[in-house]
Amino acid sequence: MIDEEFLAVVLAIIVVAAGIAVLQIFPIGRIAEPFSELAVLGPEMKIADYPKEIVAGEPFKLYLYVRNYEGKVMYYNVRVKLGNSSTQINETEPMNVPVMTRYDVVLLDGDNFTWPVALSIDEPGVNYRLVFEMWVYDEGSDGFRYHGRWCQLWLNVTTPIVP
């Protein structure tokens, strides 16, 4: 006959193991609200030291960071545009100016990607607005759609000094 104490301990272990197994079948980490991250980082890959004054025609360095929390694989397309203080942009409407350049990446859920970006502006001027818009591929419309995420940098572009 099996000892009752031993039986009780075995039963308790089996109950705990079964509980853990059931929890694994119904994972608790489901995404409640899917979202994506877009960030512009300075030349040192930090959220600091952003350029404010640049020289026309000279490239300046930045980093672009994208993270996928959408719960599925996503095709991101970050569009770089140049506007000024009067150019409009918000969460529903992208900036209505030509695209300077674009960066594409496909990310699995939970993955992120950082691009080193070298840009230059040829025309001197003040209060330039360098905008980074996040677009995603939408299977419903079979095309890229503005995802409502955007970042900006205000820049003054000076004339290069001629020796």
Partner 1 sequence: MKLLFKLLLAFALISLVFFGLGLPAASNGASADEAEDKLIEAFKAIAEAERMGGNVSSLVAELNEAIRLLEEGETYKNESLIDEAFLRAESIISRTSEVGREGAVEVQARVFQGVIVIVVFVALALVVWRYGPRLFWRLWVRGNGKRVVHRRTREAQGRNKRRKG
Residues that bind partner 1 (CB under 8 A): 4-5, 7-8, 11, 14-15, 18-19, 21-22, 25, 72-73, 75, 104-108, 137, 139
For Cα atoms 54, 55, 56, give the angle at the middle one, nearest 5 degrees. Answer: 120
Closest by Cα among 121, 37, 131, 60 to 93? 131
Q: Closest distance between partner 1 and the C-beta of residue 30, in Å?
A: 15
Length of the chain: 163
Q: How far apart are CA 80 and CA 99, in angstroms?
A: 6
Q: Closest distance between partner 1 and the C-beta of residue 100, in Å?
A: 14
* C-beta of 42 vs 71, nearer to partner 1: 71
Q: How far apart are CA 128 and CA 121, in angstroms?
A: 10
* C-beta of 50 vs 75, nearer to partner 1: 75
Q: Closest distance between partner 1 and the C-beta of residue 77, in Å?
A: 10
